[in-house]
Amino acid sequence: MTSTPHGARARARIEITAAIKEEARRRLAEEGAAELSLRAVARTLGMASSAIYRYFPSRDDLLTALIIDAYDSLGETAEAALQGSAGAAPGERWAAVCEAIRGWALAQPHEYALIYGSPVPGYAAPASTVPAAARVAFALIDVVRDAHRAGELDVPALPGDLESEAARMAADFVPDLPPAVAPACVAVWAQLLGLIGFEVFGQFTRVVEERDAFFRHTVAGLARTVGLRPADAAS
């Protein structure tokens, strides 16, 4: 039933699907996920509201598609920063990837909110989002891995009650690194995105003014937490 399901109709289908997503993303950029209305999308696309349901069985399915796209877009940005900094010192690469993630988040706050905002509890992220979501994390991990290969990673300490958990984590997604760095990576990943979230969601209003410098400094601290030696020696 696959293998280029024959001709014009199929092409039209993927084109229209793309057009719906595109228009939805456009509205998302300026309104936020809560205000995204299927009917409005259909209207500006010149189709009946009921027609959209041929392409996305429900509003949530559209949102899920947008979530995956957002994860991928962010992951791509992070990977680009990773490659753009190839050869640089681990501390600098770390900063570059973090800045790229932050830049993406600030440029598309609503999409950031979509993926790192509040998925209501009870809502289990569809398994289809997992690989896309992992890309950012793996970009960060790649920096750590490179530092490790170059012998420039200070493996952090690990308390006894986390040993088995660390072993499991490491086996799951960093089998080539010392187990102790796995929890540190996860912690730093969460803290970084949390930090960015605070800025994007306006929690820094009237608290942090010079956000670029503040972010640079904080991210250097995070680097130290995973065992990297930050580029900015002064911080």
Partner DNA sequence: CACAAACGAGAGCACTGCTCTTGCATTGCC
Partner DNA sequence: GGCAATGCAAGAGCAGTGCTCTCGTTTGTG
Q: Cβ closer to DNA: 20 or 226?
A: 20
Select the residue interacting with its own copies from 183, 223, 228, 231 (CB under 8 A). 183
Q: Does 82 bind its own copies (CB under 8 A)?
A: no
Q: Is the dihedral of CA 33, 118, 127, 99 positive or negative?
A: positive
Torsion angles phi and psi, residue 35, rounded to 5? -90, -5
Partner from its own copies, DNA, none binding residue 122, C-beta < 5-8 Å depending on class:
its own copies
Partner from its own copies, DNA, none binding residue 165, C-beta < 5-8 Å depending on class:
its own copies
Give residue 125's identity as a one-letter amino acid code. A
CB of 31 to its own copies, least distance (A): 8
Instruction: Please give the size of the binding site for its own copies, defined by CB under 8 A.
Output: 64
Partner from DNA, its own copies, none binding residue 210, C-beta < 5-8 Å depending on class:
its own copies
Query: Quick one: how many helices (H) and strands (E) in the chain?
Result: 9, 0
Q: Does 64 bind its own copies (CB under 8 A)?
A: no
Between CA 138 and CA 219 the distance in angstroms is: 17
Between CA 140 and CA 111 the distance in angstroms is: 20
Between CA 197 and CA 203 the distance in angstroms is: 8
Tell which residue, 23, 31, 26, 9, has the closest CA to residue 52.
23
Near its own copies by CB under 8 A, which window of 3-11, 50-58, 60-68, 183-191? 183-191
Spatial contact of 126 and 66, defined as CB atoms under 8 Å apart: no
Between CA 140 and CA 188 the distance in angstroms is: 9
For the chain, the maximum distance between any two Cα atoms, rounded to a whole number of angstroms, is 62
Q: Cβ closer to its own copies: 149 or 198?
A: 198
Binding site for DNA (CB under 7 A): 5-9, 12-13, 16, 36-40, 46-51, 53-55, 57-60
Q: Does 175 bind its own copies (CB under 8 A)?
A: no
Partner from DNA, its own copies, none binding residue 69, C-beta < 5-8 Å depending on class:
none
Structure tokens at 184: 């540190």
> Under the rule (CB under 8 A), what is the footprint of its own copies?
31-35, 109-110, 113-114, 116-125, 130, 157-162, 164-165, 168-169, 183-184, 186-187, 190-195, 197-210, 213-214, 217-218, 221-222, 225, 232, 234-235
